[in-house]
């Protein structure tokens, strides 16, 4: 009754104060049958913030106001523990996202805002792109190596540049936050994690995480501005696509609207090969 990534949470209910759930049951001759579930989490900070993780009602019992009842129960609980607001993140492209959005907005939640554009493509199609051949030979002084091949001194120098330089490196592309497992616990694909070097110094990076046996997510890519005209981010992606070969058939990635350079990159080079496009939205409510 919830997404696979949250199912382990159900066994922790009652033990971990971070999570909260409410269920709906139908009484029958065979006893009680679960027909609905709402799952959320509660932050430990003050004022506490609630996050709606999932809400589900059995298809045979929908359109009876049961999802509204579950949502009201969750909001009431959050008020009771001193919650200041509740929020949720969801993705279009599912069979139920419009119902969820309608449920939340009619219950006083804010107007949804676009959080991220999400894309998916097949490696077979991407390998046909003309730009796959543009970066077989890099300009003098530049090279692309595996991230794990970096020496401690190279990592230290990069860390110092990110910390002390006037270069603006957004928090969500700092490389050291992506080299291990992802926020969703997805394992890194180390053979696809790359560093771009200029005369031995790191000027760019690229990280990927495993979604399933056939699909990889490109999680983080960045090249310092002074290097982009010589080795653009597309060079890192092309090298990673080539390394994927027959091991993985599909790739996913996301673009934050605020990263205008990445939006332009996506429109210019990737759109012709995208075969699935969805949107991640966020929504909230003051309690």
Q: 82 lies in which domain range?
A: 4-109
pLDDT value for 46? 66
Instruction: Looking at the structure, tell me whether residues 157 and 98 fall in a common domain.
Output: no
pLDDT for 102-131, tens place per residue? 999 999 999 999 999 999 999 999 999 999
> Could you tell me the pTM of the whole model?
0.85
Q: Is residue 115 assigned to a domain?
A: no
Tally of CA atoms within 13 A in the half-sphere of 240 that contains its CB: 28
Instruction: Looking at the structure, tell me whether residues 87 and 163 fall in a common domain.
Output: no
The CATH number of whichever domain residue 97 belongs to comes to: 3.40.630.30
pLDDT value for 15? 59
User: What are phi and psi for residue 173, nearest 5 degrees?
Assistant: -120, 15
Instruction: Looking at the structure, tell me whether residues 100 and 124 fall in a common domain.
Output: no
What is the number of other CB atoms lying within 10 angstroms of the CB of residue 50? 25
Q: Is residue 135 assigned to a domain?
A: yes
- Beta bridge partners, 90, equal 281
Q: Is residue 101 assigned to a domain?
A: yes
Average pLDDT in the chain: 91
Burial 234-248 (b: 16+ CB within 10 A, else e): bbbbbbbbeebeeeb
Instruction: Looking at the structure, tell me whether residues 129 and 263 fall in a common domain.
Output: yes
Determine contact, residues 225/167, Cβ cutoff 8 Å.
yes
Instruction: Looking at the structure, tell me whether residues 100 and 125 fall in a common domain.
Output: no
Instruction: Looking at the structure, tell me whether residues 17 and 144 fall in a common domain.
Output: no
pLDDT value for 166? 64
Instruction: Looking at the structure, tell me whether residues 97 and 129 fall in a common domain.
Output: no
Instruction: Looking at the structure, tell me whether residues 165 and 226 fall in a common domain.
Output: yes
Instruction: Looking at the structure, tell me whether residues 67 and 38 fall in a common domain.
Output: yes
Instruction: Looking at the structure, tell me whether residues 146 and 265 fall in a common domain.
Output: yes
Comparing 91 with 10, the larger pLDDT belongs to 91
Q: Which of the listed residues 46, 76, 109 is the one where a domain comes to its end?
A: 109
Q: Is residue 54 assigned to a domain?
A: yes
Give the mean pLDDT of 253-275: 92
Q: Reduced to 3 states, what is the DSSP secondary structure of residue 241?
A: helix
pLDDT value for 14? 63
Least confident of 68-72, 79-83, 90-94, 229-233: 79-83
What counts of helices (H) and strands (E) characterise the chain?
Answer: 7, 11
Instruction: Looking at the structure, tell me whether residues 43 and 169 fall in a common domain.
Output: no
Instruction: Looking at the structure, tell me whether residues 93 and 159 fall in a common domain.
Output: no
pLDDT value for 205? 97
Number of domains in the chain: 2
């Amino acid at each position: 009754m919830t997404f696979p990534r949250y199912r382990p949470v159900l066994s922790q209910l009652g033990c971990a104060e971070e999570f909260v759930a409410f269920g709906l049951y139908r009484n029958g001759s065979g006893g009680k049958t679960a027909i609905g579930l709402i799952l959320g989490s509660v932050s430990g900070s003050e004022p506490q913030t609630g996050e709606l993780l999932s809400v589900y009602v059995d298809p045979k019992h929908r359109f009876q106001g049961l999802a509204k009842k579950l949502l009201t129960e969750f909001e009431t609980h959050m008020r009771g523990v001193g919650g200041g607001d509740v929020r949720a993140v969801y993705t279009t492209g599912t069979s139920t996202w419009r119902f969820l959005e309608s449920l939340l907005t009619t219950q006083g939640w804010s107007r949804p805002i676009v959080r991220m554009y999400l894309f998916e493509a097949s490696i077979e199609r991407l390998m046909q792109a003309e730009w796959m051949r543009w970066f077989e030979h890099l300009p003098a002084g530049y090279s692309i190596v595996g991230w794990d091949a970096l020496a401690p001194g190279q990592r230290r120098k990069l860390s110092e540049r990110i910390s002390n330089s006037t270069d603006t490196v957004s928090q969500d592309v700092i490389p050291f936050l992506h080299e291990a497992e992802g926020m969703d616990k997805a394992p890194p694909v180390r053979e696809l994690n790359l560093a771009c070097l200029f005369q031995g110094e790191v000027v760019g990076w690229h990280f990927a995480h495993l979604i399933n046996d056939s699909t990889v997510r490109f999680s983080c890519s960045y090249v310092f501005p002074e290097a982009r005209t010589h080795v653009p981010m597309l060079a890192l992606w092309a090298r990673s696509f080539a390394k994927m070969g027959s091991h993985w058939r599909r790739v996913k990635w996301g673009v934050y609207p605020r990263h205008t350079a990445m939006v332009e990159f996506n429109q210019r080079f990737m759109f012709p090969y995208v075969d699935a496009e969805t949107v991640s939205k966020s929504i909230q409510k003051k309690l």
